[in-house]
C-alpha cells in the first residue's frame, strides 16, 4: 500500500506549518529560550484534531536540531512505562539516541513529547499517567511538550490541576478552508495531479477544519489520477468528519483495553451500524495475525446479529450489546500493532451510494419516457432505455429535442451520455425557442 499522504506531506519544518502563526511564534520563542540556557515550563498544545499540533512539535525539534522522545497514549498507559522511557531521557542529558555523548551545553537537547495527553488515565496512585508526567516534569532537565484535543481532559483531576500549574498553554485553532486548500494544492502539485479548484473547495468545506481528514479524503479520491474533477469528490460527502469516525476506528483498532474501546465508541455521535462498517473495512489493514482476525470477525458478526435484531424488533436496548461486541474487536489482538495504515471509507457504502444515485436517476428518466411512450417504467427500463440511450448519444437533433421535451436535468443527461452537458442544454434551449416561435406563428 502506498504511504499515507498525511505522513508523506507532514511538515518537517515550522516554516511549512500553515496557519496558527501565533502559536508557532510562541513555540519558537520557548525553544530559543531553552537553547540560550534558560529552562522553561513545559508547554501544552491544545486544539482540534488535524490542525498540526503533533507536526508542529516534531518540526520544532527538527528545526532546533533536538532529539525527540515521543510517547502517546498507548505507550503512556501507566507510570512504569513513563518512568522507563521518559525519565531516562529527561534526566540523562549526556547521550543521544545513537549513543553519542553531547552535553546539553552544546545543544544536545532532547524534546520529550507526550502526545494524546488527554487520553491518559488519571488512575489510582500507581497507574496514573498524569502523575507520572508530573513527576517527570519535576526532575526533567529537558524541554517537554504535552499535546491534546481537550483542554479539560488534560487539566482535570488532581494530577491535571498540578499539571496546569506547571505548564503554559499554547492554543491551536482549527484551520480555515483557505488554509486547507493551500495545503491540498501543495500536495496535488507534489503528486502531479491537476485538480479542479471546486473539487478542493468541496473537500475543504466538508472536513470541519481537520486537515488530516481533508488530506485522507483527497488521497482516497485522487491517488493515481492525473486529473481530479469535482464529481469524483462527491462520495466524500458521506463522511461526517465532525464526528471523527476516523479517530474512533483508529482508537478501537489500536487499544488493547476493552473499556477504552467502549468509551470511544459510546463517545461518538455515530450509530453502531455505521461504526461496524468502518471497523470491518479497516480491521484487516491493521490486524495481520490470522487467529486475531478470526476472533475480530467473530465479534463483528455477533455485533451484526444484534444490530439486525435492533432493526427487526425495534429494540434499541440491544445496541448496547452490539457496542460491547464492537469494542471486543480491540481485544481480539494480543498486543497493539504499531501500524498507521490509511483507513478507508467502507467500500460497501461507497458502492451503495453511487449505485443508488444512479438507480434513482435511471428511474426518473424511466418515468419521464414512460409518459411519452405510454409504457410502464419497468418496460421503459428494460425495453426502451437501452435503445433510447444509443439514439440520444448519436443524434444531435433528437438529443436536443428530447432534452427539451423531457426537461432532462444535468445528472439525467450525464446518465445518458458522456457528451458535454452545457452544450446539450444550449441546443435544447434553441429547440425551445424554435418551438415557441412556431407556436406564436401558428396562433396568429
Ligand atoms: N498546520 C498545518 N500545516 C501543514 N500541514 C498540516 C497542518 N496541520 C495538519 N497538517 C497535515 O495533517 C496531518 C495531521 O496533522 P497533525 O498530526 O499534526 O495533527 P494534530 O493536530 O496532531 O491532530 P490530532 O489532535 O488528531 O493528533 C499532518 O501529517 C500534515 O500532513
Ligand atoms: Mg496529533
* C-alpha–C-alpha distance, residues 131 and 154, integer Å: 12
Strand partners, 71: 114
Mutation pick for ligand 1 pocket among 27, 54, 251 (CB with most ligand atoms within 8 Å): 54
State residue 88's pLDDT score: 62
Ligand 1 mean position, distance from CA 54 (Å): 6
Ligand 2 mean position, distance from CA 112 (Å): 14
End-to-end CA distance of the chain: 71
Q: What count of Cα atoms within 13 Å lies in the side-chain half-sphere of residue 171?
A: 4
Reduced to 3 DSSP states, what percent helix, strand and coil does the chain have, rounded to the nearest 5? 65, 5, 25
pTM tops 0.85: no
Of 224, 221, 225, 193, the C-alpha closest to 207 is 221
Nearest CA to ligand 1 atom 6: 52
Judged on CB neighbours under 10 Å (0-12, 13-18, 19+), 195 is buried
* C-alpha–C-alpha distance, residues 288 and 293, integer Å: 7
Ligand 1 atom closest to the CA of 172, numbered from 1: 21
Cα 80 → chain centroid: 32
Nearest CA to ligand 1 atom 30: 10
* C-alpha–C-alpha distance, residues 13 and 282, integer Å: 31
Q: Which residues line ligand 1 (CB under 6 A)?
A: 6, 9-11, 17-19, 49-55, 149, 175, 183, 211-212, 215
DSSP state of 316: G
State the ligand closest to the CA atom of 23. Answer: 1
Nearest CA to ligand 1 atom 27: 49
Cβ-contact 77, 200 below 8 angstroms: no
Ligand 1 atom closest to the CA of 149, numbered from 1: 25
Ligand 1 mean position, distance from CA 212 (Å): 6
Mutation pick for ligand 1 pocket among 55, 60, 153, 242 (CB with most ligand atoms within 8 Å): 55
Ligand 1 mean position, distance from CA 52 (Å): 3
Q: Which residues of the chain have pLDDT under 70?
A: 1-2, 72-108, 119-128, 235-244, 269, 340, 342-343, 345, 347-355, 440-444
State residue 102's pLDDT score: 47
262: CB partners within 8 A, 6+ apart: 323, 324, 327
CA gyration radius for the chain? Answer: 28
Ligand 2 mean position, distance from CA 46 (Å): 10
| Residues, beta carbon < 5 Å, ion ligand 2 | 54
What does the block give as the cell for 188? 496535488
Ligand 1 mean position, distance from CA 213 (Å): 9
The sign of the dihedral angle between the CA atoms of 96, 143, 58, 29 is negative
State residue 119's pLDDT score: 66
Mind listing the pLDDT tens digit for each residue in 268-305?
A: 767 888 889 889 988 998 899 999 999 999 999 999 99
What does the block give as the cell for 220? 482516497
Long-range contacts of residues 405-414, Cβ cutoff 8 Å, at least 24 apart: 405/372, 406/365, 406/368, 406/369, 406/372, 407/368, 408/365, 408/368, 411/357, 411/361, 412/361, 412/364, 412/365
Mutation pick for ligand 1 pocket among 10, 44, 57 (CB with most ligand atoms within 8 Å): 10
* C-alpha–C-alpha distance, residues 184 and 212, integer Å: 10
The DSSP annotation for 270-300 comes to S-HHHHHHHHHHHHHHH---HHHHHHHHHHH
Using DSSP's 3-state secondary structure scheme, residue 144 falls into strand
Using DSSP's 3-state secondary structure scheme, residue 200 falls into helix
Ligand 1 atom closest to the CA of 175, numbered from 1: 1
Element spanning 202, H or E? helix 197-205
Element spanning 185, H or E? helix 177-191
Amino acid at each position: 500500500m502506498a504511504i499515507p499522504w498525511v505522513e508523506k506531506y507532514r511538515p518537517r519544518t515550522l516554516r511549512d506549518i500553515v496557519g496558527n502563526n501565533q502559536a508557532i511564534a510562541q513555540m519558537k520563542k520557548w525553544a530559543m529560550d531553552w537553547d540560550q540556557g534558560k529552562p522553561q515550563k513545559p508547554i501544552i498544545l491544545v486544539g482540534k484534531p488535524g490542525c498540526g499540533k503533533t507536526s508542529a512539535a516534531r518540526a520544532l525539534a527538527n528545526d532546533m536540531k533536538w532529539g525527540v522522545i515521543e510517547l502517546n497514549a498507548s505507550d503512556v498507559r501507566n507510570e512504569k512505562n513513563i518512568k522507563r522511557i521518559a525519565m531516562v531521557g529527561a534526566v540523562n542529558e549526556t547521550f543521544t539516541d545513537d549513543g553519542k555523548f553531547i552535553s546539553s551545553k552544546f545543544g544536545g537537547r532532547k524534546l520529550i513529547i507526550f502526545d494524546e495527553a488527554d487520553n491518559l488515565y488519571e488512575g489510582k496512585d500507581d497507574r496514573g499517567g498524569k502523575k507520572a508526567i508530573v513527576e517527570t516534569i519535576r526532575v526533567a532537565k529537558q524541554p517537554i511538550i504535552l499535546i491534546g484535543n481537550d483542554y479539560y481532559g488534560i487539566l482535570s483531576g488532581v494530577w491535571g490541576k498540578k499539571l496546569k500549574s506547571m505548564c503554559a498553554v499554547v492554543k491551536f485553532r482549527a484551520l480555515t478552508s483557505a488554509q486547507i486548500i493551500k495545503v491540498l494544492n501543495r500536495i496535488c502539485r507534489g503528486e502531479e495531479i491537476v485538480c479542479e479548484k471546486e473539487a478542493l473547495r468541496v473537500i475543504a468545506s466538508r472536513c470541519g477544519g481537520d486537515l488530516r481528514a481533508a488530506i485522507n479524503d483527497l488521497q482516497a479520491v485522487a491517488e493515481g489520477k492525473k486529473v481530479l474533477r469535482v464529481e469524483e469528490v462527491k462520495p466524500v460527502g458521506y463522511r461526517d468528519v465532525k464526528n471523527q469516525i476516523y479517530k474512533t476506528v483508529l482508537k478501537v483498532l489500536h487499544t488493547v483495553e476493552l473499556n477504552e474501546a467502549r468509551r470511544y465508541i459510546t463517545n461518538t455521535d455515530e450509530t453502531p451500524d455505521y461504526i461496524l462498517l468502518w471497523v470491518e473495512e479497516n480491521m484487516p489493514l491493521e490486524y495481520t495475525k490470522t487467529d486475531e482476525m478470526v476472533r475480530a470477525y467473530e465479534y463483528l458478526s455477533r455485533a451484526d446479529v444484534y444490530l439486525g435484531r435492533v432493526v427487526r424488533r425495534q429494540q434499541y436496548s440491544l445496541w448496547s450489546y452490539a457496542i460491547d461486541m464492537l469494542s471486543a474487536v480491540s481485544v481480539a489482538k494480543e498486543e497493539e500493532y504499531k501500524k498507521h495504515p490509511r483507513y478507508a471509507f467502507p467500500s460497501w457504502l461507497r458502492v451503495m451510494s453511487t449505485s443508488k444515485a444512479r438507480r434513482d436517476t435511471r428511474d426518473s428518466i424511466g418515468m419521464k419516457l414512460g409518459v411519452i411512450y405510454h409504457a410502464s417504467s419497468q418496460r421503459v427500463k428494460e425495453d426502451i432505455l437501452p435503445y433510447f440511450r444509443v439514439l440520444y448519444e448519436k443524434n444531435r437533433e433528437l438529443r436536443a429535442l428530447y432534452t427539451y421535451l423531457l426537461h432532462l436535468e444535468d445528472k439525467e443527461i450525464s446518465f445518458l451520455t458522456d457528451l458535454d452537458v452545457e452544450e446539450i442544454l444550449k441546443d435544447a434551449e434553441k429547440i425551445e425557442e424554435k418551438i415557441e416561435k412556431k407556436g406564436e406563428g401558428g396562433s396568429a
